[in-house]
């Protein structure tokens, strides 16, 4: 896969965090972020932090990637 990927996991989700993080790390170019205060649903549990991560990720992509087709 030759696309930028951001994965946001809950750091407090001890059952899935390690197994899932190991799988995600196998994806070339993936950016993995752990929200340590969140469990299995980090986006609704920490919406401000998740939004900040997403905005920073998109800002770092460059204009060519953000441009919509058409």
Q: Is the pLDDT of residue 25 over 50?
A: yes
State whether residue 35 is helix, strand or coil: strand
| Better-predicted residue by pLDDT, 33 or 69 | 33
Taking only the tens place, the pLDDT of each residue in 28-50 is: 888 888 887 787 788 888 899 99
The burial class, CB within 10 Å (0-12 / 13-18 / 19+), for 42 is buried
**Percent of the chain surpassing pLDDT 90:** 19
Whether pLDDT at 70 is above 50: no
- Judged on CB neighbours under 10 Å (0-12, 13-18, 19+), 20 is middle
Find the mean pLDDT for residues 6-31. Answer: 79
CA distance 7 to 21: 9
Q: State the pLDDT at residue 34.
A: 84
């Amino acid at each position: 896969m030759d696309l930028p990927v951001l994965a946001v996991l809950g750091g407090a989700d001890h059952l899935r965090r390690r197994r899932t993080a190991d799988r995600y790390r196998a994806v070339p170019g993936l950016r993995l972020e752990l929200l340590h205060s969140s469990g299995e649903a980090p986006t609704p549990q920490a919406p401000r932090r998740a939004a900040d991560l997403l905005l920073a990720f998109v800002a770092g992509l460059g204009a060519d990637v953000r441009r919509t087709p058409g």
